[in-house]
Amino acid sequence: MKTVEEVYKLFDEVGCCSFATLDGAGGVDARIAHFFAFDEDGLYLRTMRVKPFYRQLKLGWLAVSAEHTAGRCAWDEDNMPHFQPGYMVRVAGSVHELTQAEVDAKAAANPLFNVAVYDIKKYPETVVFVLDRFHGELYDYDFNMVHRDHKILRERFAFGGDVFEEAGLSIDPDLCIACGACTEACTHKAIFPTGDGAAFRILGERCDECGNCYHVCPAGAVRSKGC
């Protein structure tokens, strides 16, 4: 399970990330922003009261996503992509605004808050929000298997009492006929026989939920996320 510090560092490595909010009119808005601090209470961001971002954050929900890669995608003579290894990270959950007294108390104990104190003095309409309850995923990819023999590693996590759904599709052992069609169809090397060989199982951390196994299973044993 990722700690809040580990999640912060994943986003901090990227820098500017995509922050999405509800727009109050039934839609979603997005902009580029960043987290500037973390502690045991969550991940912190700042904006100004006069911005739409502020009004949207007051609705209490935020989703953030980012990608870090070793290099740009290259294309071969057949116009096929070759991705460099990297990771994607995302979180979604609830946010609330801090009072000035709360910001001051955190700044006294955490130097990461110095930038917020500076901004509040320079731009008095600056406010601080904390993402205090969230779930998310680290999606570590090596699609061309440069450094390992499988394409992805997925790790899901939650903070502040939130919960998450496990990654990957699943196989019902009572329906599986152990024909092996699923493992032959899996390009992510996520499907293996059980210990007794009577069925197959999917490693959720390697599964991209592409649906190849679901498509070829003659017994209907593969369960999609909709089942």
8 or 81: which carries more pLDDT confidence?
8
Dihedral of the alpha carbons of 4, 7, 11, 12, in degrees to the nearest 10: 60
The confidence score (pLDDT) of residue 226 equals: 63
Binning pLDDT at 50, 70 and 90, where does residue 80 land?
Answer: confident
Q: Alpha carbon of 68 to those of 9, 72, 154: distances in Å?
A: 12, 10, 15
Taking residues 90-112, what's their average pLDDT?
97
Higher per-residue pLDDT: 46 or 226: 46
CA distance 107 to 98: 12
In a domain, 164, yes or no: no
137 and 177 in one domain? no
Compute the mean pLDDT over every residue in the chain, rounded to the nearest whole number: 96
Number of domains in the chain: 2
Residue with tokens 């731009």: 123
Let me know whether 174 and 86 are in one domain.
no
Higher pLDDT, 103 or 80: 103
pLDDT of 64 higher than 90: yes
User: In sequence order, which residues have a C-beta less than 8 Å from that of residue 39 and are 6 or more positions away?
Assistant: 4, 106, 110
The domain that holds 184 is classified in CATH as 3.30.70.20
Dihedral over alpha carbons 139, 144, 145, 149 (to 10 degrees): 100
For residues 130, 139, 210, 77, the Cα torsion angle rounded to the nearest 10 degrees is 120
Q: pLDDT of 185-202, one tens digit each?
A: 999 999 999 999 999 999
Q: Is residue 161 classed exposed, middle or buried when 0-12, 13-18 and 19+ CB atoms within 10 A define those classes?
A: exposed
Which domain range does residue 186 map to? 170-223
pLDDT of residue 102: 97
Which of 134, 178, 146, 116 is CA-nearest to residue 42?
Answer: 134
Q: Is the pLDDT of residue 65 over 60?
A: yes
What is the value of pTM for the model shown?
0.93
Position 227 scores a pLDDT of 54
Which residue type is seen at 75?
Answer: W
Does the pLDDT value for residue 87 go beyond 80? yes
Give the ranges where 32-180 is alpha helix by DSSP (H). 52-57, 100-109, 114-122
Q: Kindly state whether residues 134 and 180 are assigned to the same domain.
A: no
Q: Which single residue is written with the structure tokens 């502040």?
A: 160
Which CATH number is 115's domain given?
Answer: 2.30.110.10
Task: Based on the fold, state whether residues 108 and 199 are members of the same structural domain.
Answer: no
Question: Where do we find the tokens 């979603």?
Answer: 28
What stretches of the chain show up as alpha helix (H) in DSSP?
4-14, 52-57, 100-109, 114-122, 181-185, 212-216
What integer pLDDT is reported at residue 23 of this predicted model? 96
15 in the same domain as 86 = yes
* 189 shares a domain with 77: no
d(CA 12, CA 6): 10
pLDDT at 72 (0 to 100): 84
Q: What is the mean pLDDT of residues 21-45?
A: 97
Percentage of the chain modeled with pLDDT above 70: 99
Mean pLDDT in residue range 89-109: 97
Please tell me the predicted confidence (pLDDT) of residue 75.
87
